[in-house]
Structure 1
């Protein structure tokens, strides 16, 4: 779940009686602050330090550092674009971006509202007809402010409306039919935030969660197990939302607290049992950031890192499976998760634990990580 990261303060009419300032914030959303009569100029917000906006797919991770995209892990499906080979250290991928999104075996990036894509694309979920996409490709779309890169389908917010592309066997594109698409199509739903699970899509529209597609474990949050062919409102208000992109659990932040719904066979909802939830359920823990892996999840609460769920690869940072959110003893400014790996970001430094067979932990080798391990140092120059 990407956190709001403030960028540069731009003075349009400095020191005038009606100075108008623009704060550039993530995903291309701009707002104006009129400080006329305020008695002074607000200080510029700090720029993000080090690696941030980290997001992970099946076995690769992406992040932003100094306005450029960096990656670690599997590149067997060309998800790093111009850079060849797998990378066990964080590596400069040679492209600038404002935000990045790691799909199952693909990557997507936004730069000034334009959408760029690369990697595996068997169902056209990158919004282009090329398969695979072997280098960063400009989709031609503008006005893009959010992306949910799924296993084989993707949804984006473009000009305030949800668009979708890719596999559509369970109506997960929200277009009213089950025909797959290899270009992004307007679903007609206005939204500010989107996420996906393996065969479903979710959006926050006017502050209310809407969902569509597969509903085997109640992951649509509609109180039943019935699939939906068009967007349906759960009547549940939320500020942010995060789906297990390769599984069937969904997490939301409402008024700073965690709410959960869907599959829970490994305790990945963190509610103290294995009961799945078909309606949104209050997990009773304050949360600042949350990410979901395949059958586990990680969050930050009060600056402390908590994990829950499956620990087959040690991805919880402690032994055994856990059905409730449990402190790891670690702190982080943001978290991310691949299928079986947990990533903690702290700007210039970070740690990883769990599966590292493709180097997705960014620690400089491909041995699995049974305990929290510091990232390897950064290489400033792009590889080729």
Structure 2
């Protein structure tokens, strides 16, 4: 199920974003934040999950829960000690998204932030180990590696790192306060140092383009939003690649070092192309992806930590059915979360306890986890 407005009730991978050894920084994830996956059958009172490279947030009972790495206080549980089991931060929210060592939430119509502020992406000062109000009004949010997007009055606002022009505010100067890009949009997705938006039914893109991830048939960065001309009904960003849904199948673009684009081989692609994979929702992690088709999880790409849930640790360059029933999906870093009715399950990399099992052992199969104290 696909939402046309970011996050409200969607499970999102805030794009954890990295691609290969060369790009071992993750964001999101990503990622969207129109993205792709929404909870149709909410387990207990769980409303959404969002994960970055090594930490996750969940909305449960109207408050934010968190787990995983906490070096910058990104868990919002005070202090900087990593947590291997889910805990309630007590912060009320309507939606939440995870970035690289930080997070955003929507509460009472404004953006709240927590965690790292290395490039000013928190949009505020003060104690960053607890959630705080930035004062920025918004109806949707997306978190990239060190930059953020928000929708307000129908246009994209941005903040944070701008090395590749990913803020869409002209130039490459980092910005520590939210500013209006003037770009109209109905949904947004943030990648490593790039972004996607949907506007009038087509994908727009901005920022870093070394692997062709902007979908403009070249490798030139863009400092302003550009229309790719690619029609879509949903978008999501991995590290340096993207997925879209159009006419019921997955389309892809960008970095392809682990075969995550599903278009044959591992060559990067600078224009959007149809993978032929049917899907009702999609989500991209660092270099792997999940899709929902006929009620089961399909996966592709990097598998060094077993994140594909297809047994073994061999990368896969074609979509394959895991056989795992699900109604929502989240791909992040080198791991993932899904829900199946009343169950929440996780798989893959777990070095910071982000899978929520109380340990740091990786999991090669989707395994049920409890989000409670």
Match of residue 271 from structure 2 = 279
Question: How far 1:2 moved relative to its partner?
Answer: 7.2
Shift of 1:363: 2.0
TM-score when normalising by structure 1? 0.83
For 1:20, the equivalent position in structure 2 comes to none
Q: Indicate which of 104, 118, 121 corresponds to 2:117.
A: 121
1:237 aligns with 2:249: no
Whether the 8 Å CA contact 2:234–2:246 is kept in 1: the answer is yes
Check conservation: 1:125, 1:165, Cα contact below 8 A.
yes
Quick one: structure 1 residues 178 and 129, their matched pair in 2 at CA, closer, same or farther if it must change by over 3 Å? farther
User: Alignment partner of 1:265: what SS?
Assistant: coil
Provide the C-alpha distance between the structure 2 equivalents of 1:325 and 1:150, rounded to a whole number of angstroms.
25
Shift of residue 258, structure 1, vs aligned partner: 1.3
**8 A contact 2:41–2:342 mirrored in 1:** no
- For the aligned residue pairs, the C-alpha RMSD in angstroms reads 2.2
After superposition, residues 1-384 of structure 1 pair within 5 angstroms as 3=3, 49-84=44-79, 85-129=81-125, 133-142=128-137, 144-244=138-238, 247-317=239-309, 318-319=311-312, 320-346=314-340, 348-376=342-370, 378-379=372-373
Deviation at 1:129, TM superposition (A): 4.6
Work out the number of aligned pairs and report it. Answer: 339
Q: CA–CA distance in 1 between the matches of 2:91 and 2:73?
A: 14
Shift of 1:62: 0.9
Deviation at 1:90, TM superposition (A): 2.1
What is the alpha-carbon distance in structure 1 between the residues aligned to residue 185 and residue 227 of structure 2?
A: 12
Whether the 8 Å contact between 1:2 and 1:53 is mirrored in structure 2 is no
Deviation at 1:273, TM superposition (A): 2.0
Q: Structure 1 CA distance, aligned partners of 2:44 and 2:100?
A: 27
| Partners of 2:347 and 2:304 in 1: CA distance | 12
Quote how far apart the aligned CAs of 1:375 are. Answer: 0.3
Distance 1:342 1:138 in 2: 29
Deviation at 1:248, TM superposition (A): 0.8
The alpha-carbon distance between structure 1 residues 6 and 261, as it changes in their structure 2 partners (threshold 3 A), is closer
Checking the alignment, whether the CA contact within 8 Å between 1:307 and 1:327 is kept in structure 2 is yes
Query: Are the counterparts in 1 of residues 251 and 273 from structure 2 also a CA contact under 8 Å?
Result: yes
In structure 2, C-alpha distance between the alignment counterparts of 1:261 and 1:61, rounded to whole Å: 26
> Bigger relative contact order, structure 1 or 2, given CA contacts below 8 A and separation 6+?
2
Distance 2:177 2:224 in 1: 19
Shift in Å at residue 48 of structure 1? 7.2
CA distance in 1, matches of 2:241, 2:371: 34
Q: Are the aligned partners of 1:6 and 1:46 in contact in 2 as well (CA < 8 Å)?
A: no
Contact 1:51/1:345 (8 A) holds in 2: no
Residue 268 of structure 1: CA displacement? Answer: 0.9
Counterpart contact for 2:259–2:302, Cα < 8 Å: yes
Q: How far apart in 2 are the matches of 1:96 and 1:297?
A: 30
Q: CA 1:236/1:377 → structure 2, altered by over 3 Å: closer, same or farther? A: closer
- Over 3 Å counting, the alpha-carbon distance change for 1:47 and 1:243 in structure 2 is closer
